[in-house]
Structure 1
């Protein structure tokens, strides 16, 4: 293989976006109010959060309901699980590579 396929590139583009990842990790398969999500995802403006949510809806990873309620779609739940697995893998790598300090 000399290059990644288009599907892999598309998936990496989504999971490498900090805000997409944080939004996906803070939603569930139950509806969540926009303001609850706004408080959970720190550091993003309200306007940018709305933009990112609309993009995730367009990607069919998030479902939007009336009154600014959001939840993960089945694909969003699948991607969320992949993000959780990636996070766990990264944590394991960090603990393997950190030097162990001898006790004094």
Structure 2
């Protein structure tokens, strides 16, 4: 069977991977609650409003949980997504090394 488009679930995954703020949030949180201001200091360049909006989206996707004191933590699916992001990072490093070796041989 030939596919002509990707699934909705694949689109959701790609949206997470394509949004640098989601990726930075997921890689800076742990399974333990972290205060919003600590997270805000770790992630440079995002406005407070955009950080809150991104956290709200990640909460709605079941990746992050919050408490009544503006603290956030990864849920099980968030930890899994974090592992995917770390694996993607490692894969990208390998590709850059391989590309560097090819470039050096070509000179």
> In the comparison of the two structures, how many residue pairs are matched?
101
**Which secondary structure does the structure 2 equivalent of 1:43 belong to?**
coil
**Which secondary structure does the structure 1 equivalent of 2:65 belong to?**
strand
* CA–CA separation in structure 1 for the residues paired with 2:77 and 2:38: 22
* CA–CA separation in structure 2 for the residues paired with 1:65 and 1:21: 21
* CA–CA separation in structure 1 for the residues paired with 2:60 and 2:46: 20
In structure 2, stretches of 5+ residues that fail to align are none
Q: Which residue of 2 aligns with 1:94?
A: 96
Q: Which residue of 2 aligns with 1:72?
A: 74
Q: Which residue of 1 aligns with 2:61?
A: 59
The structure that is helix-richer by fraction is 2
1:36 is displaced (CA, Å) by 0.6
Question: TM-score of the superposition, structure 2-length normalised?
Answer: 0.89
2:47 counterpart of 1:45: yes
* CA–CA separation in structure 2 for the residues paired with 1:71 and 1:39: 16
* CA–CA separation in structure 1 for the residues paired with 2:66 and 2:92: 31
* CA–CA separation in structure 1 for the residues paired with 2:50 and 2:9: 26
Question: TM-score of the superposition, structure 1-length normalised?
Answer: 0.92
Summarize deviations over 1:2-23 as a string: whole Å, max 9, x none. Answer: 3211111111011111100000
Query: C-alpha root-mean-square deviation of aligned residues, in Å?
Result: 1.2
**Which secondary structure does the structure 2 equivalent of 1:96 belong to?**
helix
